[in-house]
Structures are given as C-alpha cells and as structure tokens.
Amino acid sequence: MTDKLAPPNSESGARRTLQDELADVRTDIIRMAALTTEAITAGTQAFLGGDPSAAEIVIDGDDAIDDLYHRIDDQLLLVLARQSPVAADLRAVITTMRISHELERTADLVVNVAKATRRLYPHTLDPRVRGIIDQMGQQAVSQTRVAIDAFADRDPTWAGALTDMDDAMDDLTKSLFRHILADTTGDEASVLRAVQVALVGRHYERMADHAVTIAERVEFMVTGNHPDKNEQK
C-alpha cells in the first residue's frame, strides 16, 4: 500500500506567506527612501537657488511620501494581525515600522527646508554658507542611502560606520553656525535671516541623525542586540 503524502506543514506555509509580505513591505521602504533622498536633493537646490516655486514642488511632493508611510503602516498592522509573528519575525515587523517613521520624519524636515526657502526669499545667501548647506544636503543623502542599503541587505555592520559619517555632519553644522554668527550684523532683518539659516542647518543635522537611527534599528532587527549608543539623538 502506498503511503499517503504528509499534509503540508501549515506553520512553514504561514512563514512563507509572512516572508512574502515582509518582502513587499521592504520594497515599499526602499521606494520611500528613494523618494526621500530625491526630496532632500530637490529641497536643497530650491533653498540654494532661492526658488519658491521649486520649494512648493518639494512641499507638494511630500504627499506621496506620506501616502507610502501610511500604506506601509497599514500593511505591517495587517501582518501583525494575520501572522502573529514571534522572535526574529516580530523584530523585523516592528523595526520596519519604526524605519518608515524615521523616513517620514526625514521627509518632513525637507519640507521645513523648503518652507525656509519661501521665508528667506529674495535674500541671497553668502557663498560660504551656500557651500556648507550644499555639503550638508549631500551628506544627508549619502547617510540616508547607506542606512537603507543596510536595511535592504540586512547588514548590521553599518551602524558604526554611519556614526562615523555623522561626525562629518556635526562638523558641517558647527562650521555653518560660525559663519552665521560672523555674517550677522545685529539688525532685526539680519538676525531673523540668521535664525532661519541656523534652523535649516539643524534640519539637515536631524536628517543625518535619523539615518543613524535607521542603521541602529537594522542592527537590532538582525542581531536582537540594542546598539550601545542611545537610539534617540
């Protein structure tokens, strides 16, 4: 008598479904990160060019990032409800949800830069300040891309490297503040402009901080260990 085939393992079947769903979400996270880095570049160029129209495009474009954020959130809540993940899978779900939040906050900071463009118009930035802001924008893009590469590759080793990269952003921030103080004449208009530029510098610094946090969350997702440094800078 021929043995009957054993029924498929329902647990392993559910696990495959879970991994498929997480893969779909991972694709959306990567897309969200691409939109965010594009926004950083566009927002930086709008600010450096003193272009309110370009800034408005950046502000309007944030809706697409917000839509992805809410879609990812909804997908992950469904995964939690349907799959009841545990251990490493649960870490992956929770971490992915938090990473999407970090990207959404980064995109909101880009919107703040774009709004500062409108407030400073038609003032022309000092060439030295322009150069620093340009570098800060590039640094924010680089760190965000590295952080998402770490997520896509499930590579926990990037957390330390991103912390080192973040030192470069901190140095740029200090340099920006020095130039702002040197260029401020003391009249009300000059002080208000200085405050706006300083806030823009702070926005870029926070973008870089979010990238570091993403890499730290990847480290936790993969290893189960919390990074030594505080996750919230």
The CATH number of residue 74's host domain is 1.20.58.220
Number of independent structural domains in the chain: 1
Calpha distance 113→109 (Å, rounded): 6
Is residue 43 domain-resident?
Answer: yes
> Which stretch of 54-58, 98-102, 107-111, 121-125 has the lowest confidence by average pLDDT?
121-125
The torsion defined by the Cα of 27, 28, 34 and 36, in degrees rounded to 10, comes to -150
Hey, CA dihedral for 136, 140, 142, 146, is it positive or negative?
A: positive
Mean pLDDT of 162-188: 93
Work out the average pLDDT over 209-218.
96
Greater confidence (10 vs 120) lies with 120
86 CB neighbour count, 10 Å cutoff = 8
Instruction: Tell me which of 82 and 43 has the higher pLDDT.
Output: 43
Q: Is 155 exposed, middle or buried (0-12, 13-18, 19+ CB in 10 A)?
A: middle
pLDDT digits (tens, 9 = 90+) for 128-158: 999 999 999 999 999 999 999 999 999 999 8
Cα 2 from Cα 149, distance rounded (Å): 51
**pLDDT score for 184:** 85
Residue 59 lies in a domain: yes
Kindly indicate the confidence band of residue 186, based on its pLDDT and cuts at 50, 70 and 90. confident
Per-residue confidence band for 163, with pLDDT thresholds at 50, 70 and 90? confident
| 5 within some domain | no
Asked if residue 2 belongs to a domain, the reply is no
Q: What is the pLDDT of residue 94?
A: 96
- pLDDT-based confidence at 2, cuts 50/70/90? very low
Contact criterion met (CB below 8 Å) for 38 and 75: no
Determine, yes or no, domain membership for 135.
Answer: yes
pLDDT at 16 (0 to 100) = 55
| pLDDT higher than threshold 80 for residue 8 | no
Confidence (pLDDT) at 14: 53
Distances (CA, A) of 115 to 32, 48, 196, 200: 21, 13, 10, 10
pLDDT the model gives residue 106: 99
Q: Regarding predicted confidence, which is higher, 232 or 124?
A: 124
Query: Do the domain assignments include residue 31?
Result: yes
Whole-structure pTM value: 0.90
Residue 66's domain comprises: 12-223
194 contact partners, CB below 8 Å, separation of at least 6: 180, 181, 183, 184
Q: Residue 58's closest CA among 95, 6, 111, 7?
A: 111
For residue 144, tell me if it sits in a domain: yes
pLDDT band at 17 (very low <50, low <70, confident <90, very high): confident
Going by pLDDT thresholds of 50, 70 and 90, the confidence category of residue 3 is very low
Q: Is residue 6 part of a domain?
A: no
